Amino acid sequence: MEKRTENDMIHLPEAFCERMRGLLGDQYGEFIASYDRDRVQGLRLNGLKTAGPESSPRELARNMERETGFELQPIPWVRDGFYYREEDRPGKHPYHEAGAYYIQEPSAMAVVELADPIPGDRVLDLCAAPGGKTTHIASRLKGKGFLLSNEIHPARAKILSQNVERMGVQNAVVTNEAPERLSPRFPEFFDKIVVDAPCSGEGMFRKDPQAADQWSPDHVAMCAARQGDILDQAAGMLKPGGRMVYSTCTFAPEENEGTVLHFLERHPDFEVEAVNGYEGFDCGKPRWAGVDPETDLGRQLARTFRLFPHRLEGEGHYMAVLKKRGEAPEAATFWGGPRMAVRKQKELLKDFADFCRENLAETEWLADQDSYVLFGDQLYLTPREMPEMAGLKVVRPGLHLGTLKKNRFEPSHALALALRPDQARISLRLKPQEGPVLRYLKGETLDLNSLEGELTPAGAGKGWALVCAGEYSLGWAKLTGQIFKNHYPKGLRWM
């Protein structure tokens, strides 16, 4: 990481520095000195895979430290978040491929903590790629409720979908749409909405020096206008009584207090909700938006949050918790018909049902056949509360179960990542940092005679085996006798 000092301020735009000097006053020296420090690194444990009934996040982190050699320190504002050392390199560990954690900038983790999704909520992540906040939401939902994760850019939507898969999320639908295409389809539908809006990226200059090269006052103004449009669309999709968290990774008042101010002026049915922050969080600055702090709007803007890199261990961020006035309506069913023609073609599911009976230890979830969707020969299990999505660009309509081939079913990588070892009839637990698991990730065939892994049940001789790094599923292998034929996806294999 390149360090920045007063002597190489040339790396920061002059207009940006002048503005921050004027805004921060005597704090400017501390602020600019933060660019001389290395940025901190963070990861968030995936509660869909790591949570135990009696284990605290700290206990889980201690287990992770013993198993990986990482050194983890708690991030104060997120229950499952931890700082790690740069030399730990968690992105190169098998647990990363298993979705045991998500590498995420520490300040960004605060957004979902403020949104506070609970199991059963309907949640929209409107600007979701690459997936940090989406997978955080999913971890908090614990498989209950409905998550719509949207990204307007097709390439980024694909990355988002891949991260949803890696983290074993079952109740999320990924779409590739503009907000104005979604809002008419979901009127007052969601309990919680996260809008991590595209912004000028000033808070990421230390993390991404190229962002500084692309900065300009005109770009700030363009981002502020776009953010207002996105918030307007999101507002109509939130239930009365619902909560929307607006966030950016910029310091610009136009994109932060200014955007929230103009939104409140356009939407009198919203207010900034008073929620508790954490040590190091600064309050919003109404004067920076030209608002008297003693007015109602000023007091509301002061309830928003600013995260500065000289005040806490994280990058620059801004967050506002927006509450829609009114009471939530009675729960309504938005789905009125069968998901697909599978109800009329149940023979198509026979091979899948046979696979489940032969290879899975739990098959109760097969009963909900109205939730299956077939795209060509690809079978998905959709969330129970998924509404009608016809006409929308759906990247991932739920959990990808696998492929219906002639007279057989081939399970997907997504299904493997969504399962625990005890949910498969045959599982192979490999030590997370030793040769066999690395050979599996490289796509090599494994010989049971040369493995120091735990095969359950002992003596299993045939069938689909769930290969795991410790207790975390990695993918499938086809067991025949003593040989595991590798089915780890070619595009994900380690070099």
Domains in the chain: boundaries:
14-324, 342-416, 419-492
- The β-bridge relationship of strands 426-430 and 462-469 is parallel
Q: 14-324 and 419-492: same fold?
A: no
User: 478 to each of 428, 429, 458, how far by Cα in Å?
Assistant: 11, 15, 16
Can you give the pLDDT at residue 331?
A: 55
CATH class, 419-492 region? mainly beta
CATH superfamily of 14-324: Vaccinia Virus protein VP39 (3.40.50.150)
| 135 vs 444: CA distance, rounded Å | 30
Is residue 478 marked as binding? Answer: no
Can you give the pLDDT at residue 296?
A: 98
Half-sphere exposure (Cβ direction) of 245: Cα atoms closer than 13 Å: 27
Beta bridge partners of 475: 467
Cβ count near 477 (within 10 Å): 22
Amino acid at 7: N
| 488 vs 151: CA distance, rounded Å | 27
Joined together, the tokens standing for residue 201 give: 């990226």
Is residue 127 marked as binding? Answer: yes
Indicate which residue of 223, 249, 356, 468 is catalytic.
249
Burial 417-427 (b: 16+ CB within 10 A, else e): bbbbbeebbbb
| 409 vs 352: CA distance, rounded Å | 5
Is residue 235 marked as binding? Answer: no
Tell the burial category of 207 from Cβ atoms under 10 Å away from its Cβ (0-12, 13-18, 19+): middle
Cβ count near 445 (within 10 Å): 11
Can you give the pLDDT at residue 366?
A: 58
Q: Give yes or no for a contact between 430 and 97, defined as CB atoms under 8 angstroms apart.
A: no
Q: What is the pLDDT of residues 426-439, one digit of tens each?
A: 999 999 987 999 99
> Which strands make up the sheet holding 462-469, listed edge to edge?
446-447, 483-486, 472-480, 462-469, 426-430, 454-456
pTM flag (> 0.85): yes
Is residue 242 marked as binding? Answer: no
Q: Give yes or no for a contact between 437 and 489, defined as CB atoms under 8 angstroms apart.
A: no
Is residue 298 marked as binding? Answer: no
Place of tokens 């005890």: 422
Average pLDDT of adjacent 10-residue blocks, the chain of 495 residues: 40 93 97 92 94 73 93 96 96 96 98 97 98 98 96 98 97 97 97 98 90 92 98 98 98 98 98 96 98 98 98 97 88 45 61 92 66 88 89 96 92 96 94 91 94 84 94 96 95 93
| 162 vs 53: CA distance, rounded Å | 28
Can you give the pLDDT at residue 54?
A: 56
Is residue 130 marked as binding? Answer: yes
**356 annotated active-site:** no
Helix (H, G, I), strand (E, B) or coil at 93: coil
Place of tokens 């290969």: 467
Is residue 320 marked as binding? Answer: no
